Structure 1
Amino acid sequence: MIGPILYWNVRGLGTSRGRLKKLVKEFKPKVFALAETFVDDSKMGRLMRQLGLEEGSSNQLNAGKIWLLWEKNVNVTIVRMSDQFITVKVLEGDLALSITFVYAKCYYGLRRQLWRDLQEDVHSNDPWMILGDFNVIKNNEEWKGGSPCSRIALEEFNEWINGCGLMDLNYNGNNLSWCNGQEGLERRREGGLENLAFKMKRMKQVLRRWNKEIFGHVKLKIKELEWRVESLEAILQGDYEAEVEQDLLVSKIEIDIWQKREECLTAQRAGIKWLQEGDNNTRFFHAVLKRRQQNQVTKMNKPDGTAFNTPEAIHEGAVQYFQEFLSHKAEGEPPYLSSFIDQAITEDENKNIYKRPSMEEIWQAINSIPVESSPGPDGFGSGFFKACWAIGKGNVEEAIAEFFEGKQLPRYYTASYVALIPKVQ
């Protein structure tokens, strides 16, 4: 019998590695599919080593979002893939099983190509299992809250299920779920909050690549320009040429631009906002960064005398501590303090707190945040939103509207950092 097969829409690999390790340890999957890692598949090898899965593939070259990992002793052959699915054949002895891992498009018009592609695989004689995130439901009974799903989308999905002769597998656990990625035929809702979070994560992935390939090579670019200036000055010492002089002036201007970029980059990394830009603070910023690197926690002592000695153990220990600390219920009734508080807000003002803000009010709120303020865990500060307001204001307005409607906040917005500060003797 072919061993356990898992599929998980992780909605960002960065915060999910710990849970991935726990899943692999608990279920020991032979084949593991991940969707929406938001990481380039060049990083797949590192994850495979961490999870103990030796083989892998992805549909990134097809503009897809699925990673597929499996054990070396499992005979897996990639049969077909597109931007919305990967189909493999798994062999174990005389048993052959075709498996299709799906991450479907959000818009039903784009899913039609997926239904057509998979319809072509019906004629195979092997058992066929399809699992993943279809971004659609069979009927509105699989949905709670929000607007009903598109009738056309439901009809086309059911036509495809019936045309392929598919049937639901039995399952354990909740009938409905509220994860950012659902498996099989469970509920899936993409609203303004989740849509904005998704686009921000995609933007972050692109910016990381841009920083790595272009902007991040600031020092190298400055050295190249300095060498160029020295060469041009040497030429002018021997024989004056107007074109060489013009090239020299342009090169000096470029050095100035790149030096400002270097200062901006290191200032953002250091998180210092009380020094003025242009004061040649780069050395100071580097000193701040170096001091912070020296303040890293490399060992954590426990009350029983043992210690956590690896970054992974320290991480798990810190998470466990705060989970227990924050889940502890206080004993006794909280003190009644209303008599000590003056009523400073009128009833009308209290009602306006729940009123959806206008676009002008949103823009004023963003403008009130200093550009140099430290960004949140997502890395985007107010300066980013100000510079890209013309492009992203629609998504921001939609997300804020959902917030004031009382929609559940995705984990992307509620996540934060817990920094461990080492004790000093």
Structure 2
Amino acid sequence: MQDRRSPLRGDLASARAVRALLEIQRREKPEVFFLSETHLDKATAEKLKRSSGGLLLIWKKEVSVQCQGVSRYYVDVTKEEEEEWRLTVIYGEPRWEHKHLTYEAMRSLHSGSDLPWLMLGDFNEILFHREKEGGRARSQAQLQAFQNSLMDCGLVDIGFIGDNFTWQRGWIRERLDRGVANTQWNLLFPSAQLKNGEMVKSDHRPLVVETDGT
């Protein structure tokens, strides 16, 4: 059976991190691999598949992927299987005063296509108060801004298997990384599962999506 797994999220700041990512690659055998905050220089990144700033998307040569657009916040592609669908990998603006730029980018992407759509990565924001433990609480206005952006894009959280929190620094834990999809994508892949993997040389967990749920 074709492997349809896409592990996401990583950090290439050190050789130890690279080895950890290679271990994830060997274990999961992904078709598509997304890294954010790569810290790769431009020349190195250009030798790989598709990059934008600190974002890097890599895929197997036998996989049919067409790049639709890149920005500082996302890489947007279409993937052809039995039916064409859309994948947007994202790294959200970490600063509250600039988060509206991420949400504007999401809304702009939504207006450009009606394909089955999966968006995932590090949104750098939580949806609900229960997705944060320790540290200063988010305001309801912050949560509502994120919730509104997903609603406007017709995207809903696809759930997860594993630990509730995907990011940890000291005693603060948050669910910053997630997958969201539109109704068409959920109908196309009704058995899809997202797993919050184990933290390996990073303060984020890798996300692993299996579209066939096996």
TM tier, smaller = 0.7 to 0.9
Shift of 1:159: 0.5
Taking only the aligned residue pairs, the percentage that are identical comes to 24
Distance 1:179 1:41, change over 3 A: farther
Distance 1:149 1:110, change over 3 A: same
Shift of 1:58: 0.3
Distance 1:44 1:74, change over 3 A: same
Shift of 1:131: 0.5
Shift of 1:75: 1.1
Q: Is the 8 A contact 2:73 2:102 kept in 1?
A: yes
Residues 231-270 of structure 1 mapped to structure 2, 5 A cutoff? none
Which stretches in structure 2 are left out of the alignment for 5+ residues? Answer: 170-174, 180-200, 204-214
Shift of 1:121: 2.6
The AA in structure 1 aligned to 2:141 is: I
CA distance in structure 1 between the partners assigned to 2:127 and 2:94 by the alignment: 15
CA distance in structure 2 between the partners assigned to 1:13 and 1:75 by the alignment: 31
| Pairing 1:167–2:156 present | yes
CA deviation map 1:20-73 (0-9, x unaligned): 111111111111010111221423478xxxxxxxx611012xxxx101111001
Match of 1:111 in 2: 99
Shift of 1:2: 7.2
Aligned partner (choices 57, 62, 71) of residue 50 of structure 2: 57
TM-score where L is the length of structure 1: 0.38
Q: Is the 8 A contact 1:105 1:135 kept in 2?
A: yes
CA deviation map 1:253-284 (0-9, x unaligned): xxxxxxxxxxxxxxxxxxxxxxxxxxxxxxxx
Shift of 1:4: 0.9
Match of 2:6 in 1: 5
Distance 1:97 1:9, change over 3 A: same
Shift of 1:11: 6.1
Q: Is the 8 A contact 2:120 2:177 kept in 1?
A: yes
| Pairing 1:146–2:135 present | yes
Shift of 1:109: 2.6
Larger Rg: 1
Higher relative contact order (CA 8 A, sep 6+): 2
The AA in structure 1 aligned to 2:55 is: I
Write 1 or 2 for the structure with the bigger share of strand. Answer: 2
Q: Is the 8 A contact 2:3 2:29 kept in 1?
A: no
Aligned partner (choices 32, 37, 56) of residue 67 of structure 1: 56
Shift of 1:168: 1.2
Q: Is the 8 A contact 1:88 1:99 kept in 2?
A: yes
CA distance in structure 2 between the partners assigned to 1:153 and 1:103 by the alignment: 17
Write 1 or 2 for the structure with the bigger share of helix. Answer: 1
| Pairing 1:27–2:28 present | yes
CA distance in structure 2 between the partners assigned to 1:127 and 1:33 by the alignment: 19
Pairwise CA RMSD: 2.5
CA deviation map 1:151-174 (0-9, x unaligned): 332111011011112111131110
CA distance in structure 2 between the partners assigned to 1:172 and 1:88 by the alignment: 25
Aligned partner (choices 100, 104, 109) of residue 121 of structure 1: 109
Distance 1:112 1:76, change over 3 A: same
Which stretches in structure 1 are left out of the alignment for 5+ residues? Answer: 47-54, 186-409, 413-425
Residues 311-390 of structure 1 mapped to structure 2, 5 A cutoff? none
Distance 1:110 1:19, change over 3 A: same
Match of 1:300 in 2: none
CA distance in structure 2 between the partners assigned to 1:154 and 1:139 by the alignment: 6
Distance 1:4 1:76, change over 3 A: same
| Pairing 1:183–2:184 present | no
The AA in structure 2 aligned to 1:56 is: K
For 1:138, what is the secondary structure of its paired residue? coil
Q: Is the 8 A contact 2:69 2:77 kept in 1?
A: yes
The AA in structure 1 aligned to 2:29 is: K
Distance 1:85 1:45, change over 3 A: closer
Shift of 1:411: 7.2
Q: Is the 8 A contact 2:32 2:57 kept in 1?
A: yes
CA distance in structure 2 between the partners assigned to 1:176 and 1:22 by the alignment: 22
CA distance in structure 2 between the partners assigned to 1:122 and 1:33 by the alignment: 21
Match of 1:36 in 2: 37
Residues 73-112 of structure 1 mapped to structure 2, 5 A cutoff? 73-92=62-81, 94-112=82-100
The AA in structure 2 aligned to 1:57 is: R
TM-score where L is the length of structure 2: 0.73
The AA in structure 2 aligned to 1:74 is: V
For 1:132, what is the secondary structure of its paired residue? strand
Shift of 1:150: 3.5
